Chain A
């Protein structure tokens, strides 16, 4: 599309104000990956079917492939790049790494963020609550078990530091 038709979008991502000029029909997924260089957010369908593109908006899971950036001005967007505190990983990230919960790692960013939202809401979820919370995020590698165990391990280690 002609550059003249682009619109200015201001987003708050991982606590940082960011501004870009983008085509107005670009999704949040595309703006994050292509305009802001945040390629940690993945995609598996771009149609709202797999949750691979999941990010957090104001702490709640959100499908970035269906979200329009202009609607999210002023909201707090968190991507996987924003999970660690400096070089100190989130306890979920540590648990996923230790237990082999990231095989290919492609679903991992969305799994981690979805699990983060769960633990923030319910610090000691039951197995069923974990299954329920993660049920929208597809993983083809792990059979989900190591993911459940990693969420439980992170929960047992307590809240994020920092």
Chain B
């Protein structure tokens, strides 16, 4: 009884909910300071050009303009990854995509700032734009950075795949393409900078990664980090799109320093499309060898990523296209080759699922075809190749808990997949797919030995609990997770926890809201801190009662004896006992992931302390005359470890399904003559309330031994199986294979009319990958 959970596992109202529904949440653009100026950024109209000269004299002369900046005012390069320091806040020599920042102004109002931009004269020499992977690697291609457009090339092998392919009884190879798309958070990015008379800089910004912004500001502005304070404001949606360091953040800071006045920059919606860092377009080739009864013996996977104009997270994205194949299937021999190239498009980066939705589409459609060839149903094929709990994959990823089989069973039973798929009328179909995802990246973005998450608690005689943590709530509910974990451990109510988050002056480090890491990592740090506080309270109460420390429990705002609950003190009295003994009650907790990387170069991307698993069945209803695909119903199961708040987890799952359907059916970021075709909310199609399907969400709990209360991630994994499940459902409905995302009506009609009954790429470009790095494989895979 005493050990039952009071808060964890309950669908309670999250602490920030009422502020959000009353319009009281202050997003970055809601902030205003006295004497505030408005900043605007001039962006390149050319996809690829050399900057010959910038004349700002007319802009500077405009009344109301207080400062104009060009690249020379912020010459130090930066980038989110230490290996890709290739960006400038304002371009100095070259522009690399339409929208690349070139100059900036601060003025007393936005209209003057806009007028000033028109008065800045930039002389460009245009260069040939590189708009595709093929163009980027052509022998005579104009290099976008340095001497070649190859940003990253990877070639890894785990065991002899050629030999295993030769020995395989069945081999299949497929080539597919996934077009790029973008996050489209409803909130446009905004940053407000203030430079105080004390020489301290404060930046409020809608960022998922305030710690990394803090580091970049220190580097580019050449200020000690101790003189910079970064406060992340609640994000009006992020999905990975606010996890980089952006020009407007650095520019607002510099403008505030130059003018001595607060400066705010809010991106227009069009600029948000240029800020991007979204889904990479990826061309993929997957080849699998199997036994006749459908057991995988080897896989060879190749991906070609169209990276856009800068590095961003691209090196990590590149590895991610190959990392999670073996956490979803037991693959005994695996080869992975990948190439990321620079092109003259907005830089790509991490969008929900970071680098893994594309290979997931490739694998899950591929195995749908393999199953058919082998005469197996697609579910049975998956069941014959399940990853095992407490195992290592051939590429050294450590799996702890694994609920994939349970997820599969839930959606297959819930949807009646096996029976119904055989009897659907023409135009209607069911598709199935599975996936896995990380609960936080096991290695930090910059090399260090420090914790990934830290939490501090402070209590005093008033009985409240102050919780300080660098994590930022981007809508995923991280504030709730932290508060719920601490309240659970201390036996108090959710409303007793007072949160201060994402303020680098006040809160201990959390690396950020990316890679689905906050529940697992900051949650573990919060739990550790709360347990230390509880130990102090128990010790003081045990002395006062007196009783044995082990005999005490904390619940219902009291600390009482386990079997004699009438003997005890209130929580506040317990805090006062400790405070009387030693002053303010504090404790810190931290989380450092175990060292998980395998013994090979490139092993830093992919390891996670735990993986989530998902399975989905999607039903489609296709209009055979227009090619339109509608999705009336989705069944999705997710291995969450433990749902700390089921209603919030469901929200993450439903939001992931929604975003996946947008990507599967309509969202794409494409270009014509170097120009973004759809940089607006009207033309960039995304699903509305009318397209929302009926969703059946099943949460599978596997209670991970290292997760806080057993929890794993929910924010990204459930997106993954939905996209290929749509493609497989279209095949079930119409007998056509759309091997290219998004599945738009024109492609469906084309496939129906074509003899091949397929739309998709025919081949991958000829590219000489570097020699394979042949990695040692874990003992358990040797001889298999």
Contacts and interface: CB of A to CB of B under 8 A. Distances in A.
Contact of A80 (B22, B188, B659, B681): B22
Interface stretch (A56-64, A67-75, A96-104): A96-104
B38 to A, nearest CB: 10
Nearest to B634: A143
A138 B236 CA distance: 12
A46 B269 contact: yes
Most buried by B among A44, A109, A134: A44
A46 B651 CA distance: 28
Interface string A32-65: 0110001111111111011010000000000000
A14 to B, nearest CB: 11
Interface string B1-40: 0000000000101101111111111110110100000000
Interface string B620-661: 000000000000000000000000000110110011111100
B268 A46 contact: yes
A61 to B, nearest CB: 13
B614 to A, nearest CB: 15
Contacts of A136: 688
Most buried by A among B18, B111, B692: B692
Interface in A7-35: 23, 33-34
Given A46-B268, A140-B186, A103 B23 contact: no
B651 A146 contact: yes
Given A42-B27, A106-B237, A142 B21 contact: no
Contact of A49 (B19, B27, B658, B682): B682
A143 B732 CA distance: 25
Nearest to B683: A49
Contacts of A41: 23
A125 interface: no
A94 B26 CA distance: 19
Nearest to A132: B690
Given A98-B13, A138-B681, A106 B27 contact: yes
A147 B689 contact: yes
A144 to B, nearest CB: 4
B682 A141 contact: no
B588 interface: no
Interface residues of B, number: 57
Contacts of A158: none
Interface in B134-168: none
Contact of B21 (A104, A112, A135): A112
Nearest to B26: A39
Nearest to A33: B30
A105 interface: yes
Contacts of A38: 23
A83 interface: yes
A102 B183 CA distance: 18
Interface stretch (B313-321, B446-454, B469-477): B469-477
Contact of A104 (B24, B235, B656): B235
A100 to B, nearest CB: 5
A45 B680 contact: yes
A114 to B, nearest CB: 10
B529 to A, nearest CB: 26
A153 interface: no
B730 interface: no
B613 interface: no
Contact of A52 (B30, B186, B239, B657): B186
B237 to A, nearest CB: 5
B739 to A, nearest CB: 26
Contact of B188 (A1, A43, A135, A139): A43
B374 to A, nearest CB: 35
Contacts of A50: 186, 681
Given A39-B30, A103-B651, A143-B657, A138 B17 contact: no
Interface string A114-137: 000000000000000011101111
A22 B226 CA distance: 40
B523 interface: no
A46 B190 CA distance: 15
A146 to B, nearest CB: 6
B695 A105 contact: no
A148 B691 CA distance: 13
A84 interface: yes
A107 to B, nearest CB: 5
Contact of A42 (B187, B475, B688): B187
14 contacts: A23-B111, A40-B22, A42-B186, A43-B188, A44-B186, A47-B681, A52-B186, A80-B23, A96-B17, A104-B235, A105-B16, A105-B475, A138-B688, A145-B654
Interface of A: 1, 23, 33-34, 38-47, 49-50, 52, 79-81, 83-84, 89, 93-94, 96-100, 102-109, 112, 130-132, 134-148
Given A108-B20, A141-B475, A143-B695, 20 more contacts: A1-B111, A39-B23, A40-B22, A49-B269, A49-B682, A50-B681, A80-B23, A89-B21, A98-B13, A100-B11, A100-B17, A104-B475, A106-B185, A108-B23, A130-B689, A137-B689, A138-B681, A141-B237, A142-B655, A145-B692
